[in-house]
Structure formats: C-alpha cells, structure tokens
Amino acid sequence: MEFVHKYFEMALTYTINYGIQLLGALIVLLIGLWAIKRIGYATKAVMEKRKIDVSLIPFFTSMLTVALKSLLVVTVMGMVGIEMTSFIAILGAAGLAVGMALSGTLQNLAGGVIILVLKPFKVGDFIEAQGHSGTVKEILIFNTILTTPDNKTIILPNGGLSTSSMINYSSQDKRRVDFVFGISYNDDLKKAIQIIKDIAIADGRLMPETEPFVRLSELANSSVNITTRLWVKPEQYWDVYFDILEKVYHSFNDNGIHIPYPQMDVHVKQVKQ
C-alpha cells in the first residue's frame, strides 16, 4: 500500500503541476487567437480607411495573421515545457528542404508581392505579356488570371510576369489608333485626305486636345498610302478602329476613290530572228 500511495502522490503532483501549465497554455492560446482575430479586423479596417488597393488588403492581413499565429504556437509550446531549441532547429531544416522543393512556387509568391506592391498593372487593365494578351481579371499571390477578347482564361505565373517585359495598354489616359489607307495614283489625293479628316472629326470620340493626323506617307508600287493617326481613350480603341475603317471604305466608294489591288506591269518584247 505504501508503494501505491507513493506513486499516487507523484502522479497527483505531476497532474497538478502540468495541469496548471496546460490550463495556463490553453488560456493563453484562446486569448491569443481572439486577439489575433481582432488585430486582423482592425488591420483590415485601417487599410480600407486609408484606401489601400483592394488587392493588397487580404494578402497583408493573411500574412500578419499567419505570423502572429506562428508566434502564439511557439509561445504556448514553451509554456507546456517543450524544448524549443531542438524544435526550431528541426523546423528550420524542414523549412529549408521545403523551400528548395518549392523554389518555383516561392518565386511566384515573391513575384505576386512585387506586382501587388509596385502595381505595374491592376484589375481591368489590358496587358500583353509572355506571348499572351488579355484583360486582367484577378491578381492572386501565385498567378495572374487574364480573360482574352474571345473569352478564354489565361493563367500566368507571377514569377515570370514580374521579371519579364510587359505591355500595359490601359495605363495611359489615351491611345493612338493607326491606319494606312491606300488609294490609286489616278485619284485625287487632297480629296481623299479631306474625306478621312471629315470622318475622324465627325466621329466625336477623338481626344479634345488632339487633331487627326492625315498625311501622305508612301508612294508604294501599287498605291499612294495615307497614314492616319487618331488619339482616343484606351477603352474606345477597337470601336474607333473598326468604325473608322468601315466609314472610310464606304466613303471612298461613294466619292470615286479607288483602293487599288497590287499590280505588276509586264512588258513583252518581240525579238526578230
């Protein structure tokens, strides 16, 4: 009985000591999770109040939450008596191995951070990058999603997108529409130029501070080429392009201006025997 009584006292002592530690760790864990949740809400509210880009808010909030929860877990484990030196060493080695295995993924993560911070483009911009073009639908942490004009979805990794060249067609407040109209050598050049100018001005979508540029640009083999440049809003580019092209075609036909086909003059000489 004395042997049983001795081990019962030891078990009771350990239970009381570790029970208090476990209870304290549990209380810290619960309070910490509640506090982290409140900090996340407060951070989100502050960023929204300061009108931070909506793409950045969930990213920074989640990163802060993960960092605070990791710190909380380490603190709680220390409170229950777990040796943290060995644990941190193992965690570091595991992190190194995972990092090497996921080097491409980490590169995409870093690229996503760069894109969200530097903002070379935003949601709604029309861009061309890595051989693809389309409207930016979403900017995620690891990749960016584009939607093409024919409604295809393109997913581009952020790593390459942040380090390679890219064209943003929507970043400026105006965009130039270029045309080259060819007329016959027998047609009235001044009349053709005036027709193009009248159509461009009457369209009404040119930028107010700009004038249509319509000039003779080339005496080609089969045509006299007229270069036309019009400045419009980026979102109106394609509508203006197709509308002006169609109007010039019909107006040329109505006014006797010919759009020549490529032609070649062949001279045949008869050789006397």
Token pair for 265: 């003059």
- pLDDT per residue as tens digits for the range 165-208: 889 988 888 999 999 999 999 999 999 999 999 999 999 899 88
Which CATH architecture fits 175-254?
Answer: 2-Layer Sandwich (3.30)
CATH number of the structural domain 120-168: 2.30.30.60
61 vs 20, higher pLDDT: 61
Range of weakest confidence among 16-20, 72-76, 124-128, 140-144: 16-20
Q: Domain 2-101 maps to which CATH number in 1.10.287.1260, 3.30.420.40, 3.10.450.50, 3.40.50.720?
A: 1.10.287.1260
Q: Do 2-101 and 120-168 show the same overall fold?
A: no
What string of DSSP letters covers 170-223?
A: TSSS-EEEEEEEEE-TTS-HHHHHHHHHHHHHHH--S-TT---EEEEEEE-SS-
Are residues 144 and 103 in contact, defined by beta-carbon separation less than 8 angstroms?
Answer: no
pTM (2 decimals)? 0.57
Strands 153-157 and 143-147, sheet pairing: antiparallel
Rounded CA separation 135/125 (Å)? 6
Comparing CA positions, the residue from 128, 194, 1 lying closest to residue 202 is 194
What residue segments make up the domains of the chain, in order of their start?
2-101, 120-168, 175-254
